[in-house]
Structure 1
Amino acid sequence: MRQRGYAPPILVVPALIGLAFLVLPLAALVGKVEWSTLWADITSAEALDALRLSFTTGLVATAACLILGVPLALLIARAGGRLASVLRAIITVPLVLPPMVGGLSLLFLFGRAGWLGWTGWQIPFSTVAVIMAQAFVALPFLVLALEGALRTSGVAYEQTAAALGAGRWTIFWRVTLPLAGPGLLSGVILCFARAIGEFGATALFAGNAPGVTRTMPLAIYTAFNGAGVTQASAVALSLLLLVTAIAVLLLVRAWRPNAPSAQTSVEGVG
């Protein structure tokens, strides 16, 4: 009873209904898979183009999020209470914003009639636009995960390393990042998963050109509207995205790195 608590047993009923509401649609998707043609569907030319584009742009977008997100997470974690709250709220906006609005915002910034249109950059409706849309929606996942880890680790060991004569970059690489390693890895995995699953912002900002901007979500959407890959391929790609999402969640939950302790990290710079 101590472990189960004292909640009314009747609450199990709506809990199971909620669980079924989340699981049954996914089960219905799996039930629609044509297992006899699954491999052929996934390896068709159109499907392979969408797969290649999704994973390539997803990796590049994740790398861009690392370059931008690590300093941003560090800034928020080391900022004062009120400033950190404001910055955290700004970072959270893309998480609650409809993806279509995000794509529209990017278009109004980088489009020909946008704020930066005078530069002559031909970014919209290109592969670069796919990467930018993916990074826009995925960056908050990395920043928030890493910021929490950095805030938890604190600055005490950084101060100790500085007292031992370590420089700022040495402290950053050998103390700060190792201590926040679990949060960083979780953020990177979630960031990549969100990037390859992005649809709305990509559709508005990058378009749906085969081999150029048609990622897996767009290929699935196109198939169910009667164009591009077959519906069997769309179901197969949907299954692949589902498996990827489950694998990501398992990695985030099960990964328990044998990260060096804070004391070991500080001793290493002494």
Structure 2
Amino acid sequence: MAGRVRQETATLTTSPSRSSRSPEPARRSRRRSGSLSGLPRWLFVPAAVTAVFILLPLVAMALRVDWGNFGALVTSESSRAALALSLRTALASTVLCVLFGTPMALVLARGSFRGLAVLRSFVLLPLVLPPVVGGIALLYTFGRRGLLGQWLEVLGIRIAFSTTAVVLAQTFVAIPFLVLSLEGALRTAGQRYEAVAATLGARPTTVLRRVTIPLVLPALISGSVLSFARALGEFGATLTFAGSLQGVTRTLPLEIYLQREDDADAAVALSLVLVVVAVVIVVATRTRQAEGAL
């Protein structure tokens, strides 16, 4: 369906000779000139400062690690439990972000109704809120005396200070990253492919499944990775809403914070582990997207 739609759209919007000639010379030109051509040279100075500003603290942290005892520091029972919990909850929150953030991004990008701008503002609000404020809001929503929590308590369901609370806190702060990435991609892609698919008789759900989602799949993957990375590093909302119970709610950022008070070497080692996990995930995903674009 997606291939047929692209073929129909190309036939309606461009001539065969133009569409067959223009892309390839442009690609060859970009290969010859390089990706940095055409930029003012002075831009490289602030770009270099930015790179140093980001990389230098990471290098300093790596130099501070007690490499002789690194294995023992990161393989203690509490460290392994915190890392495993962080990975599980971050994965669960990423799934929730995809399941609920994708429809929201579609509504924001394709919808047209009064109050849409206000809705977008509230959806993106966790980006600018301090995480601890988000944790307090969740606590007064799902806590034992919260807006919904008091009714869930009657049913025997307790969310606050549980692993479920960790997932909800991570989802609350991470879902705007997916919505923002996907909404931008949907607006950039436009609706011409969906319109052609509709003229070919495809139902809206079929258009969504066969055209829209494949069209913005790289943005969906990128947004999911950003959400996962944000959830993996969440601290304030988790501490406020879920607490710090070993094996239940104490994620790796919380473990690092506690270790900082008692064992600075362990805190630095665990911080490096968190950085490495995040970097590996992001780099692997971005590399796969780049290979798919070639």
TM-score by length of 1: 0.85
For residues 181 and 257 of structure 1, the distance between their equivalents in structure 2, rounded to whole angstroms, comes to 14
Pick from 241, 244, 266 the counterpart of residue 277 of structure 2.
Answer: 244
Aligned residues: 253
**1:45-64 superposed matches below 5 A:** 45-64=77-96
Give yes or no for contact 2:142–2:148 (8 Å, CA) kept in 1. yes
Shift of 1:257: 5.6
- CA displacement 1:206-248 (0-9 Å, x = unmatched): 000000000000000011122xxx4333222100111233334
Mean alpha-carbon deviation: is it higher for 151-160 or for 81-90? 81-90
Give yes or no for contact 2:131–2:235 (8 Å, CA) kept in 1. yes
Give yes or no for contact 2:135–2:236 (8 Å, CA) kept in 1. yes
1:258 maps onto 2:288 in alignment: no
- Partner residue, 1:143: 179
Mean alpha-carbon deviation: is it higher for 123-132 or for 27-36? 27-36
Mean alpha-carbon deviation: is it higher for 190-199 or for 16-25? 16-25
Pick from 41, 60, 66 the counterpart of residue 73 of structure 2.
Answer: 41
Q: Which amino acid aligns with 2:76?
A: S
Pick from 40, 47, 57 the counterpart of residue 5 of structure 1.
Answer: 40
Q: Secondary structure at the match of 2:40?
A: coil
- Partner residue, 2:23: none
- Compared with structure 1, are the counterparts of its residues 249 and 258 closer, same or farther at alpha carbon in structure 2 (3 Å cutoff)? closer
For residues 201 and 82 of structure 1, the distance between their equivalents in structure 2, rounded to whole angstroms, comes to 32
Q: Percent of pairs identical after alignment?
A: 49
Q: Secondary structure at the match of 2:84?
A: helix
Give yes or no for contact 2:143–2:150 (8 Å, CA) kept in 1. no
Mean alpha-carbon deviation: is it higher for 195-204 or for 157-166? 157-166
Higher Cα radius of gyration: 2
Shift of 1:138: 0.3
For residues 81 and 169 of structure 1, the distance between their equivalents in structure 2, rounded to whole angstroms, comes to 20
Question: Where does the alignment leave 5 or more consecutive residues of structure 2 unmatched?
Answer: 1-36
Q: Secondary structure at the match of 1:224?
A: helix
- Partner residue, 2:261: 225
- Compared with structure 1, are the counterparts of its residues 28 and 172 closer, same or farther at alpha carbon in structure 2 (3 Å cutoff)? same
For residues 198 and 48 of structure 2, the distance between their equivalents in structure 1, rounded to whole angstroms, comes to 53
**1:31-180 superposed matches below 5 A:** 31-80=63-112, 83-119=115-151, 120=153, 121-180=157-216
Q: Which amino acid aligns with 2:290?
A: R
